[in-house]
Amino acid sequence: QVQLVESGGGLVQPGGSLRLSCAASRSIFSIGAMGWYRQGPGKQRYLVATVTSRGSTNYADSVKGRFTISLDDAKNTVYLQMNSLKPEDTAVYYCYALSGGVNYWGKGTLVTVSS
């Protein structure tokens, strides 16, 4: 099993930046892949960014060039650096891990982009 704890959400003005963190209970190299989903008000949850244990990344078109996912295996932590935030980025962001064919989820952290 994998336990995930997110942090770093909050209120930010349009154009601002936030960094989300997701701490895993074991080594990322033993997990395989991690990433972030988000779910906005009245919307379905969808994939924002992923990173594999080898460092390969993938992004949703809506965040390409603005968001960067990275990992620090020494800290068992995955980060999502979010720049040039827009009101439509407002959502609960969920960290996930894919290990052994099973998805594990964090409880989510709220990001609100508003002036």
With vertex at residue 106, the alpha carbon angle to CA 23 and CA 67, rounded to the nearest 5 degrees, is: 70
At residue 107 the predicted structure's pLDDT band, cuts being 50, 70 and 90, is very high
Q: What is the mean pLDDT of the chain?
A: 94
**Structural tokens at position 24:** 């895993």
pLDDT tens per residue across span 15-60: 999 999 999 999 888 888 999 999 998 899 999 999 998 889 999 9
pLDDT of residue 54: 87
* Residue with token string 């827009």: 86
pLDDT tens per residue across span 22-31: 999 998 888 8
Q: Which of 54, 86, 80 is nearest to 67 (CA)?
A: 80
Q: How far is CA 16 from the centre of its chain?
A: 17
CA distance 62 to 65: 9
What's the average model confidence in pLDDT over 57-81?
Answer: 95
